[in-house]
């Protein structure tokens, strides 16, 4: 039991340290239920082990106390025998037992009260979390869509992170047709990633709505919506486990389709470095992919999105950690995907932006469509709106 307890405690800490910073990746890949089950299983084993430990801890003092009482009985009985007086054995034994048992419970009560007061703030926080109702959740009437074409409409969407502050997204209207590739450009912190998070229903807009195939996304089941949208962030998150498990993370079936895994890795140009690893696709990547370079992690993140085979692909600075050669190979792969997917590219790299059918500029919360010539005239500067608007 001792060895098992030593193993379980670090696992619980590892899962918490791995999942909490990666919550965006967990949510967009519908991994919440899977991670909760994993944590509950480990926590249940840990609870059983700790209860066993507490039982042993409680048993040892009782054994010591029994020995102590027996010694007192022998000592007092000997004293009475030496003095030659008579006594009631039952009453005497009851008195000694009560005396021995009286002191320690009072001491234990004091210790328990101190421990409770020390843990009270943590308990209050736990109770607050159990009472928490998430703002973004399924409606009772939410629908499930088996397939989508990928037609997206932002209708007068306004969103701010903090009440009273200027909106990050201000009255945005945008129609992305099914099968179209659109690039969203603008200054850093201008709200480009926020648009993607609104599409994934990580937040709800304060006004306006977003539609997918003419369905308000708030009327679509969350798991269904996120199944149809593959998201690659600029900060790739990997989980402790094999490369194959990381690529197949979020698979609704739960089984790893190695053929799909290898195909996705080839498209993302990850297959070449995976093959030279000692265990190949069964190689462990370490916590948050600690054994891999930034570019390798990014390619695995892209492979995960390709494995998902969603109708909509959102790339948020997905090539920021890639070298020129890897980006070129990925660009060729994306050209093939664009024929059958709706693709949203959030990028600063010119090569990625010019792959799009249309370019829109998001600045100060306002969205404007720009021509290619107007975009090129910006010369990489997104601080002021272009002179030529489409």
Taken in order of first residue, the domains within the chain and their CATH numbers are: 2-131 (no CATH), 152-377 (3.40.50.300)
Looking at residue 301, its pLDDT comes to 87
Looking at residue 270, its pLDDT comes to 87
Looking at residue 225, its pLDDT comes to 92
Copy the structure tokens of residue 202. Answer: 């990580």
Report the Cα–Cα distance between both ends of the chain, in Å, rounded: 70
Looking at residue 349, its pLDDT comes to 82
Looking at residue 73, its pLDDT comes to 64
Per-residue pLDDT of the chain (390 residues; tens, 9 = 90+): 444 444 545 666 666 666 666 677 777 777 666 767 777 777 777 777 777 666 666 666 666 666 666 666 666 666 666 565 555 666 666 666 666 666 666 667 667 667 767 777 777 777 776 777 778 788 899 999 999 999 999 999 999 998 888 899 999 999 999 999 999 998 888 889 999 999 999 999 999 999 999 999 999 999 899 999 999 888 788 887 889 988 988 776 667 889 999 999 988 888 888 998 888 999 888 777 777 887 788 888 888 888 888 899 999 887 776 777 777 777 777 777 777 889 999 988 888 888 899 999 998 899 998 888 888 876 555 533 444 333
Looking at residue 1, its pLDDT comes to 45
Looking at residue 146, its pLDDT comes to 92
Copy the structure tokens of residue 74. Answer: 């022998």
Looking at residue 184, its pLDDT comes to 94
């Amino acid at each position: 039991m001792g060895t098992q307890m030593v193993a379980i405690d670090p696992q619980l800490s590892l899962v918490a340290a791995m999942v909490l910073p990666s919550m965006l990746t967990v949510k967009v890949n519908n991994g919440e239920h899977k991670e909760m089950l994993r944590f509950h299983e480990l926590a249940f084993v840990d609870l059983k082990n700790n209860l066993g430990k507490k039982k042993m801890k409680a048993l040892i003092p009782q054994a010591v106390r029994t020995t102590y009482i027996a010694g007192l009985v022998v000592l007092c009985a000997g004293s009475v025998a030496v003095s030659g007086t008579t006594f009631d054995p039952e009453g005497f034994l009851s008195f000694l037992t009560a005396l021995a048992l009286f002191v320690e419970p009072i001491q234990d009560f004091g210790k328990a009260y101190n421990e409770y007061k020390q843990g009270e703030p943590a308990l209050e926080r736990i109770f607050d979390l159990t009472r928490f109702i998430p703002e973004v959740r399924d409606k009772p009437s939410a629908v499930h869509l088996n397939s989508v074409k990928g037609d997206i409409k932002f209708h007068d969407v306004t969103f701010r992170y903090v009440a009273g502050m200027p909106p990050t997204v201000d009255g945005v209207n945008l129609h992305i047709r099914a099968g179209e590739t659109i690039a969203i450009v603008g200054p850093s912190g201008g709200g480009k990633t926020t648009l993607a998070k609104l599409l994934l229903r990580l937040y709800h807009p304060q006004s306006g709505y977003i539609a997918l195939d003419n369905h308000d996304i708030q009327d679509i089941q969350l798991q269904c919506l996120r199944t149809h949208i593959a998201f690659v962030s600029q900060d790739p998150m990997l989980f402790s486990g094999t490369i194959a498990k990381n690529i197949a993370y979020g698979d609704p079936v739960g089984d790893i389709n190695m053929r799909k895994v290898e195909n996705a890795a080839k498209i993302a140009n990850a297959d070449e470095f995976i093959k030279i690893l000692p265990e190949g696709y069964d190689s462990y990547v370490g916590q948050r992919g600690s054994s891999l370079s930034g570019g390798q992690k990014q390619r695995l993140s892209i492979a995960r999105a390709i494995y998902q085979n969603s109708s909509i692909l959102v790339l948020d600075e997905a090539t920021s950690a890639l070298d020129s050669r890897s980006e070129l190979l990925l660009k060729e792969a994306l050209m093939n995907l664009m024929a059958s997917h709706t693709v949203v590219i959030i990028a600063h790299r010119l090569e990625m932006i010019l792959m799009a059918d249309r370019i829109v500029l998001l600045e100060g919360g306002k969205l404007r469509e720009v021509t290619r010539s107007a975009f090129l005239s910006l010369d990489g500067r997104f601080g002021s709106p272009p002179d030529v608007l489409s």
